[in-house]
A = this chain, B = another copy of it.
Amino acid sequence: MGSGRVQPRALRPGGRTTRVRAQVLQAAGDVLAEQGFTHLDLADVARRAGVGKTTVYRRWGTVAGLVADLLIDMAEQSLPRTETGILLDDLKANAQLVRRTLADARQGSLFKSIIAAAMCDARAASAMHGFYDTRIAEWVPCVQQAIERGEVPQGTDTHKVIRAVSAPLYYHLLVTGDSIDETMADQAAQAAVIAARAGVYMRPGHS
């Protein structure tokens, strides 16, 4: 092929491309929060973002693809984590953070839309799994430290403990529509700690 140096891919992440992505993701988040998953058409997103409709279709293709990219973006924006030195208090802080997120008008609606997308499309689903993996991993050290302090038994599955905190809150969102009160969030943390102490969340292969 003569001089055909196969350029592996000459992407242009500079200026405009990045700006367009930011604008589109912002608009997509707005629409998802305001109108919901089913009312999201890409033309509308493009209009709000002040961007050509073709661009959105070319780069993201489908609603689910857009949600997937939005989740990747969200996962990168890490939230600060408290560290009190007492497992219960750390988990209460986590539970309250989740509660506030789901209670917030914009964030709450946005998460509902994201869940809807994940239930409909495999790509959006795995993006969401990645998002939660990231968020859960941020809080795992709390449990790890509790193990080292002897608060919970050796061989405890740290991820399971963190998941046990959020689970009742998300489930509540699912089965009853109403928002989660602070008491319930604290209860979720308490239940997680008590079960972890009792050795319910042991990794397989530990006594």
Q: How far is the CA of A171 from the CA of B102 in the complex (A)?
A: 14
Q: Which range contains the number of A residues in contact with the other chain?
A: 35 or more
Total copies of the chain = 2
Kindly state the separation between the CA atoms of A200 and B196 in the bound complex, as whole angstroms. 14
Would you call B115 and A177 a contact (CB within 8 A)? no
Q: Is the CB of A198 within 8 A of B194?
A: yes
Q: Given A163-B171, A167-B168: A119 and B129 within 8 A (CB)? A: no
A200 to B189, CA, bound (A): 10
* A38 adjacent to chain B (CB < 8 Å): yes
Smallest Cβ-Cβ distance to A122: which chain B residue? B177
Shortest CB distance A195–B (Å): 4
> Complex: how many Å from CA A175 to CA B120?
14
A174 to B118, CA, bound (A): 8
B36 touches A175 (CB 8 A): no
CB distance from A119 to the nearest CB of B (A): 4
